[in-house]
Amino acid sequence: MALVLNTNSYVEIADADDYLETRIDSANWFNATDEIQEQALVTATQIVDDHSWIGSAVSSSQALAWPRKNATYIDNRLGLSVTFTNTEIPSRVKVAVYEQALHLIDNEDILMGQTQTFESISVGSISISDSNNDVTRTPIKSTQATKSIRPLIVKGSLGQGASWWRSN
């Protein structure tokens, strides 16, 4: 299925191009084909969409989590309460999709769990050689994407632990 705005992606390629043209380390995005970019945006939307968001979906038949009703958060930078309309998709969600799509393109086999390579492997006397030191696991979710949407996620649902309260 091709990219369909607000059905399987929050953004289109042109939107991502505009965002990523001023972002450092985005050359891989511009070197990718339109097909790969579309696939990255659709997959990124699926990954970003899979959260416990503030508010509730406007319609039970909408394909994506946004837009939402009763979605309000406190923007610490502005020091204000921000409320989204029933038709609005926050720029934070769009930025998360751009960042996640770039992350997917930069780490092409990330969804298959193939992020480590070895230069040589021996069986006799067991030996593994990894001169590139590529032993770290790259997370599927982009750190930048997660930072962007953090205020829009129900507290405690990003693996940060539950919010505890005590009643006397």
pLDDT on residue 161: 44
Alpha-carbon gap, residue 50 to 8, rounded angstroms: 13
pLDDT on residue 110: 76
- Cis geometry, peptide bond prior to residue 139 (ω within 30 degrees of 0): no
Alpha-carbon gap, residue 167 to 9, rounded angstroms: 43
CB 48 within 8 A of CB 93: yes
Strands 68-69 vs 72-75: parallel, antiparallel or unpaired: unpaired
Q: How confident is the model at residue 155 (pLDDT cuts 50, 70, 90)?
A: confident
CA 105 to chain CA centroid, nearest Å:
12
Interval 116-142: pLDDT, tens: 555 556 667 776 566 565 555 678 899
Interval 8-34: pLDDT, tens: 999 999 999 999 999 999 999 999 999
Percentage of the chain beyond pLDDT 90 is 69
Interval 70-114: pLDDT, tens: 999 999 888 999 999 999 999 999 999 999 999 999 998 777 665
Bridge partners of 83, per DSSP, are 72
Interval 29-55: pLDDT, tens: 999 999 999 999 999 999 999 999 999
Strands 80-83 vs 68-69: parallel, antiparallel or unpaired: unpaired
CB hemisphere CA count around 145 (13 angstroms): 25
